[in-house]
Amino acid sequence: MLTNERHQSNRKERDETITNQRKNSYRNSRLNSTQNKADQMRKAVVKKENLKIIPLGGLEEIGKNITVFEYGNEIVLVDCGLEFPEDDMLGVDLVIPDITYLERNKEKIKGLVITHGHEDHIGAIPYILKQINLPIYATKLTAALIKNKLEEHNLEKTTKIHIVEQGKTVHFGKIKVEFIRSNHSIPDSVMLAIHTPVGVVLHTGDFKIDYTPIDDKVIDLGRIAELGNKGILALLSDSTNSERKGFTMSESSVGEVFDKLFLNNTKRIVVATFASNVHRVQQIVNSAIKYGRKIAVCGRSMMNMIDAAIELGYINVPTNTFIDIDNIKNYRDDQLVIITTGSQGEAMSALTRMANGEHKKVTITPNDMVIISATPIPGNEKLVSKVIDELMKIGATVIYSSLEDIHVSGHACQEEQKLILTLAKPKYFMPVHGEYRQLIAHAETAKKVGIEPQNIFIMSNGRTLELNENEAKITTSVPNGKILVDGLGIGDVGNIVLRDRQHLSQDGLIVIVMTMDNSTGEIVSGPDVVSRGFVYVRESENLMEEVKRVAREEVRRCEENHIRDWATIKSNVKDTLKDYIFERTKRNPMLLPIIMEV
């Protein structure tokens, strides 16, 4: 009996234990289910936020670089550059990006991050700051160049510039930007690792891979590889040299060529290069010191750059090496080097004025060797060729890229682009900084190293790329375009004004002035004809008289048809004269009828 009771008691305890375990299991299952649903809901909320990448400039063009990175209520801008006007932009000084989208969303903008100090990446900053005040983050030399620009525009007191060391990270909120040491044709260049909740985007800026840079600061390939191993969501990479095979030569290779040209040279040496190429200037300085020459500097931008670079320690030079340009007459030719701007044949540059015999301080003679340490930017070939010809006519020895390797590019060629693609291992790829053919060539290189074609995005300015961990797609477009700067006017020169300037430059202007009776519509005085850029009036009196006759006849016809509206009369006179002048001359001058009433 006791045994049976014990068995029954044990069975009851087991049943209760099993029941409690089942209840606990059910309760835990419910809790886990609730937790999973909560996690799924949180993930669903996160998935609603995509990272938006919006280039407002720099695609299908060289210059005007500016890119928007937008996540939720945060916008971080990368670069803010200008573009130099094309040949058909008559009278225009600069071209800057359209920032309508930024003005509409200025409360979201956390800051402007700069990759390096070239004009196509910092040149538009003063103009943008006049519309939107925002903090700027840049490395030391880049910050100094920006500060100089802001002082010229009286903006230095209203704008905060933060100096960021290479290797450091700036926290904006959900977006963090890491500065990664890079190489380019200007010191302090960086790539940017943009950390967002959906992944890391690597923006290369302008770069090359230089294993022997002048300042010994090699590109941080290790950090790029580290980020690549962790997983890079998207890569935006410089496409300037994407059509060129192989590697870009090291900047240090130019120094050897300078030494060869300086050796046993009894001539005065004039070197033209980009003002921003501080490493090139350092190598010119090194050769000048080695061969006992003093250095004079021509060109305001070159002077400003060298002063800033020396002050910040980017150019190392003994004291008393530089002399004032006014003192060059106190030295023999074999004791002098002149560093100047004008390597692109710009009309008002120092080298062009020297070539034309118009420079007030420097007169070129047959005992000068002129070294043009640059290659012509596409479109400038004729200007550079003309300067070379003029210098040679004077008798100077001219050394340029076709004769010696006195210039290397600051942009990566295909093999360097492959290396960055391989190290970064991005899920998505977007070629930037290049004309359309260069973007296509870079996309082809990406395919060769294993990037899936459907994950490569050839973008255009204003298009929005939205992406997250799982997908990327091109969605909307935002306002974009070119804002033209002419003198003090920003944006007041548009397509219509440019078309009129083009018309005037090609065919000239004819102004027809006449005074008419307000009540009768009869011509009281005139018409008088003024011609500019069309024909010389004295040599074409018959044509001008015919123009007056045709204008009078058209006014008479209007009078006969009881037309009293001045606008209609002007339009009829203009149309009739246009047909007549084209029939007589096969030209289409701009016609401007002016009617004064009495």
Task: Supply the pLDDT for residue 20.
Answer: 59
Percent of the chain with pLDDT over 70: 85
Instruction: Round to whole Å and give the CA distance between 118 and 58.
Output: 13
| DSSP track, 161-191 | EEE--TT-EEE-SS-EEEEEE-B-SSTT-EE
Taking the C-alpha atoms of residue 524 and residue 169, their distance in angstroms, rounded to an integer, is 77
527 prior amide bond cis, ω within 30: yes
- Claim to verify: residue 107 and residue 192 sit in the same structural domain: yes
Q: Judge whether 141 lies within some domain.
A: yes
Q: What is the pLDDT, as a whole number, of residue 35?
A: 59
Q: 394 or 574, which is more confident? A: 394
What is the rounded CA–CA span in Å between residue 250 and residue 300?
A: 28
Higher-scoring residue by pLDDT: 498, 314: 314
pTM of the model: 0.79
pLDDT of residue 510: 81
Looking at the structure, do residues 135 and 84 belong to the same domain, yes or no? yes
From 238, 368, 486, 507, active-site residue: 238
Q: What mean pLDDT is predicted for residues 199-215?
A: 96
Q: Is the residue at 241 inside a domain? A: yes
Last-in-domain residue among 419, 451, 485: 485
Answer with the residue of higher pLDDT: 26 or 177: 177
Q: How far apart are CA 189 and CA 166, in angstroms?
A: 9
- Residue 243, pLDDT > 70, answer yes
pLDDT tens, position by position, 211-240:
999 999 999 999 999 999 999 999 999 999
pLDDT > 90? residue 199? yes
The answer to which of 260-274, 305-319, 402-416, 492-506 has the lowest mean pLDDT is 492-506
Q: Are 479 and 100 in contact (CB under 8 A)?
A: yes
- Whether residue 289 is found in the same domain as residue 266: yes
Q: What is the CA radius of gyration of the chain?
A: 34
Q: Is residue 453 part of a domain?
A: yes
Whether the pLDDT of residue 153 is over 90: the answer is no
pLDDT digits (tens, 9 = 90+) for 548-577: 888 878 777 877 777 767 778 788 888 888
Tokens representing 274 are: 């980009």
Residue 69: per-residue pLDDT: 97
Q: How many CB atoms lie within 10 A of CB 101?
A: 20
pLDDT of residue 1: 44
63-73 per-position pLDDT tens digit:
899 999 999 99
Whether pLDDT at 186 is above 90: yes
CATH of the domain at 469: 3.60.15.10
* Residues 125-131, mean pLDDT to the nearest whole number: 91
Predicted pLDDT of residue 494: 59
Point out the least confidently predicted range of 50-54, 244-248, 404-408.
404-408
Query: Residue 201 pLDDT > 80, yes or no?
Result: yes
Give the dihedral of Cα atoms 352, 355, 356, 362; nearest 10 deg: 90
Does the pLDDT at position 3 exceed 50? no
Binned at pLDDT 50, 70 and 90, residue 132 comes out as very high
Residues 6 or more apart whose CB falls under 8 angstroms from that of 454 comprise none
- 162 and 101 assigned to the same domain: yes
Residue ending a domain, among 373, 399, 425, is 399
Query: Tokens in use for 308?
Result: 């800033």
361: pLDDT strictly greater than 50: yes
pLDDT of residue 405: 85
Report the pLDDT averaged over residues 368-384: 88
Examine the pLDDT at 8 and tell me if it is beyond 60. no
Residues 440 and 457 reside in one and the same domain: yes
Looking at the structure, do residues 160 and 276 belong to the same domain, yes or no? no
Q: Answer yes or no: is pLDDT of 23 > 60.
A: no
Q: Catalytic site residue 195?
A: no
Q: Over 90: is that where the pLDDT of 296 sits?
A: yes
Q: Please, what is the average pLDDT of the chain?
A: 86
How far apart are alpha carbons 44 and 68 in whole angstroms? 25
Which letter does DSSP use for residue 537 in this model? G
Write down the pLDDT at residue 573: 81
The pLDDT assigned to 503 comes to 62
Q: Do residues 522 and 581 both lie within one domain?
A: yes
The two structure tokens encoding residue 446:
């990406």
- 240-263 b/e with 16+ CB inside 10 Å = b? bbbbbeebbebbbebbebbeebbe
pLDDT of residue 138: 97
The answer to whether the Cα torsion of 53, 55, 59, 64 is positive or negative is negative
Mean pLDDT across 541-548: 78
Same domain, 437 and 424: yes
Of 370, 399, 428, the position where a domain reaches its end is 399
In this prediction, residue 346 carries a pLDDT of 86
Helix (H, G, I), strand (E, B) or coil at 511: strand
CB atoms within 10 A of CB 425: 18
* Residue 250: predicted pLDDT: 94
CA angle 417, 418, 420 (to 5 degrees): 65
How confident is the model over 73-120, as pLDDT tens digits? 999 999 999 988 766 666 667 788 989 999 999 999 999 999 999 999
Edge-to-edge strand order for the sheet containing 94-97? 94-97, 482-486, 489-490
517 is catalytic: no
Residue 339 CA, chain-centre distance (Å), reads 25
Residue type, 275: A
Same domain for 469 and 371: no
What percent of the chain has pLDDT above 90?
61
Identified catalytic residue from 195, 279, 359, 411: 411
Domain tally, the chain:
4
Expressed as residue numbers, the domain containing 56 is: 51-246+409-485
On whether both 330 and 422 belong to a single domain, the answer is: no
3-state secondary structure 48-114: CCCEEEEEEECECECCCCEEEEEECCEEEEECCCCECCCCCCCCCCEEEECCHHHHHCHHHEEEEEC
Q: Could you tell me if residue 544 is inside a domain?
A: yes
- Looking at the DSSP bridge assignments, the partners of residue 593 are 512
Residues 284 and 373 in one domain: yes
Q: What is the pLDDT of residue 44?
A: 46
CATH number at residue 257: 3.40.50.10710
Q: What confidence score (pLDDT) does residue 597 get?
A: 72
Residue 404 is assigned to a structural domain of this protein = no
Edge to edge, the sheet with strand 136-138 lists 161-163, 136-138, 109-113, 74-78, 66-71, 51-57, 463-467, 472-477
**Residue 487's pLDDT is what?**
61
CATH number of the domain that 532 lies in?
A: 3.10.20.580
Pair 371, 269: CB distance under 8 Å: yes
∠ CA 103-108-111, nearest 5°, is: 90
Would you say residue 535 lies in a domain? yes
Longest dimension (CA), the chain: 145
Cα separation of 137 and 140, whole Å? 10
Reduce the DSSP state of residue 556 to 3 states and report it.
Answer: helix
Task: Evaluate whether residue 352 is within a structural domain.
Answer: yes
Mean pLDDT of 378-382: 81
Q: Is residue 296 part of a domain?
A: yes
Say if strands 51-57 and 463-467 run parallel, antiparallel, or are unpaired: antiparallel
What is d(CA 468, CA 464) in angstroms, rounded to the nearest whole number? 13
Q: Are residues 150 and 172 in the same domain?
A: yes
Instruction: Name the residue among 150, 138, 147 with its Cα closest to residue 114.
Output: 138
pLDDT tens, position by position, 277-288: 999 999 999 999
